[in-house]
C-alpha cells in the first residue's frame, strides 16, 4: 500500500506519536520527551514510539533546552543536548496520537485550540498518570535554581513511567499504517 510515495506493507508497525507540551519548550516538556523516549528504548520499544515536545508560546523557537534542564537530565543519565524548541501548532494535533500537557494552563490552552472532539480527546495531563501526585501541575522551574529542575525532573519521571505503563501493552501490538 502506498503512503507518502513509499510502498509500506500493511503489517508494518507504525509508531505511536506522543508530544509533551509546556510554555516555552525549554524546561519541562523537553524533560518529558527525553524521559519517555528513554523508557521506550530501555523496554525495547524505541522504534514503536515517537516522543516530541513543543511549547504553547514562540519565545524560544530553535533554542536549545535551558542549560539547567540539560544539566538536570545529565545528572540522571539522560541526554537533552540535541533538543531545539518548537511551538505547538494546529498541525501538531494531526501529527500526534497523544498530546500531554504539563500543567492545567497548557491543558486548557490545548483544548481551546482543538478544532473538534477528536483533537480535544487527544489532550491529557501528565500528572494524571501519577496516582500519588499531590498536584495536577508540574511546576515551572524556569525562575528557580538547579534543585527545582531536579525536583521537576523527578515528578516527570514518575508520571512518565505511569503513562508508559498505560501505553506499553498497546505499543507491543502491531499498528496498521495511517493512510
Compute φ and ψ for 125, nearest 5 degrees: -105, 130
Query: Cα–Cα distances in Å, from 96 out to 3, 53, 99, 121, 163?
Result: 17, 11, 7, 12, 15
Alpha helices in 43-176 (DSSP H): 67-75, 90-95, 104-113, 117-121, 146-171
* Rounded-to-integer distance, Cα 99 and Cα 106, Å: 10
Instruction: Please choose, from the candidates 47, 44, 46, 38, the residue with its C-alpha nearest in 3D space to the C-alpha of residue 13.
Output: 47
* Rounded-to-integer distance, Cα 64 and Cα 52, Å: 14
Residue ranges per domain, the chain? 20-170
CB count in 10 Å sphere of residue 39: 21
DSSP, collapsed to helix, strand or coil, labels residue 88 as coil
pLDDT of residue 177: 56
| C-alpha cell, 130 | 501519577
Query: Cα–Cα distances in Å, from 31 out to 2, 5, 57, 133?
Result: 35, 34, 17, 18
Sheet holding 98-101, edge to edge: 49-55, 16-22, 98-101, 123-125
Mean pLDDT, 10 residues at a time, the chain of 179 residues: 38 82 97 97 94 95 94 97 96 97 98 97 97 95 94 98 92 65
20-170 has CATH 3.30.1600.10 classification = no
| C-alpha cell, 61 | 523557537
pTM: 0.89
pLDDT of residue 172: 78
Active site residues: 22, 28, 140
* Rounded-to-integer distance, Cα 149 and Cα 73, Å: 9
Amino acid at each position: 500500500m502506498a503512503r507518502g510515495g513509499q510502498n509500506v506493507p500493511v503489517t508494518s508497525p507504525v509508531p505511536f506519536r506522543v508530544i509533551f507540551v509546556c510554555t516555552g519548550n525549554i524546561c519541562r516538556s523537553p524533560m518529558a520527551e527525553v524521559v519517555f523516549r528513554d523508557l521506550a528504548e530501555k523496554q525495547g520499544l524505541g522504534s514503536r514510539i515517537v516522543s516530541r515536545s513543543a511549547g504553547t508560546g514562540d519565545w524560544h523557537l530553535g533554542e536549545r533546552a535551558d542549560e539547567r534542564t540539560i544539566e538536570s537530565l545529565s545528572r540522571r543519565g539522560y541526554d537533552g543536548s540535541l533538543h531545539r524548541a518548537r511551538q505547538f501548532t494546529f498541525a501538531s494535533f494531526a501529527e500526534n496520537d497523544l498530546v500531554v500537557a504539563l500543567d492545567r494552563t497548557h491543558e486548557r490552552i490545548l483544548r481551546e485550540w482543538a478544532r473538534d472532539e477528536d483533537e480535544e480527546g487527544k489532550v491529557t495531563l501528565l500528572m494524571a498518570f501519577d496516582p500519588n501526585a499531590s498536584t495536577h501541575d508540574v511546576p515551572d522551574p524556569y525562575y528557580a535554581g538547579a534543585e527545582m529542575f531536579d525536583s521537576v525532573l523527578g515528578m516527570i519521571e514518575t508520571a512518565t513511567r505511569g503513562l508508559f505503563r498505560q501505553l506499553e501493552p498497546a505499543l507491543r501490538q502491531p499498528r496498521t499504517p495511517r493512510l
